Amino acid sequence: MVPPVRDHIPVVVQGRVRGAPRVAFARVLWACAEVVTTVGVVVALLVVHQVWWTNRQAVAAAQDRVRALEREWGAGPAVPAEPAEADETGPTGGESASPAVPDAVPDTGPSAVPDAVPSAPASRAPAPKAPAPAPAPAPGASAGAGQAYAVLRVPRLGLSVPVARGVDKRTVLDKGYAGQYPGTALPGARGNFALAGHRNTHGEPFRYLNRLRAGDELLVDVRGRRYTYVVGKVLGETTERDTGVIAPVPRSVVKPEYGYSEPGAYITLTTCTPEYTSKYRLVVWGTLRP
């Protein structure tokens, strides 16, 4: 007789798999590396956009605005302008008013002709005077906030940049413009025509402001008229709260040895320093050439 065959039941012996913790650790490292790489790529793209692409956009738009202003003023070259005679008003004493009203036009009525009969001269009413012409507005006085009304040219730097009222980042500075501080004088007027501009990103018109030296020209064109300022002093570093640098008679309140002490017609250019930071301010001053 054949003995019955017994079923063989396999016995599974559970043991510790060698290398399992290493595999899990490797997977965690790989996931972290992917996250870091993705974040790095995103940050790099943001830097490229901020430093390179915004520059291209702002420079192109600013130069288009310069050409548009030149077309508005006519194709002819800008002519030297007489210094504008304007009072100083505004919170910092620099906002310029319109020029004084010119003298009235002389009497243009008909001359008195004697009557044919000498014994009975006819009385004549005085001839009415012609109204005096309205004074021309001060250059840039009618420009609204954020609206470019002038062009600043710096021959040493090969720079031509539109000038707009105000220093708002979104509507002025980030467009690659130079912004005029509110309450400061208009071009050519007595007081301080004070401007701000980006040193890095968004067109960075004032990036190389530190290269300016005494005697360099700063040309401001407004409606075909040119005001020529000459660089006189440079303040390499001051705080962002040094409001004295844009006063009607500019003088640093942080470093009082820098600045001026006599009233005149000044220009002030300000930007951030060192590059790629906004910790301090670099200041360049000039005076209007007679």
The residue ranges of every structural domain in the chain are 54-96+139-288
Residue type, 103: D
CA distance 250 to 265: 10
**pLDDT score at 19:** 65
pLDDT tops 70 at residue 48: no
Task: Compute and round to an integer the Cα radius of gyration of the chain.
Answer: 35
pLDDT, averaged across the chain:
79
**Average pLDDT of span 253-257:** 97
249: burial class by Cβ within 10 Å (0-12, 13-18, 19+)?
Answer: middle
**What is the three-state SS of 174-217?**
HHCCEEECCCCCCCCECEEEEEECCCCCCCCCCCCHHHCCCCCE
The highest-level CATH class for domain 54-96+139-288 is mainly beta
Give tens-digit pLDDT for 12-47: 555 555 667 788 888 888 888 888 888 777 676 666
pLDDT range class, residue 94, cuts 50, 70, 90? very low
What pLDDT, on the 0 to 100 scale, is given for residue 258? 98
Question: Poorest-confidence range of 50-59, 100-109, 116-125?
Answer: 100-109
- 79, pLDDT greater than 60: yes
| Residues involved in catalysis | 198, 272, 281
Q: Quick check: helix, strand or coil at residue 236?
A: strand
The whole-number pLDDT of residue 148 equals: 96
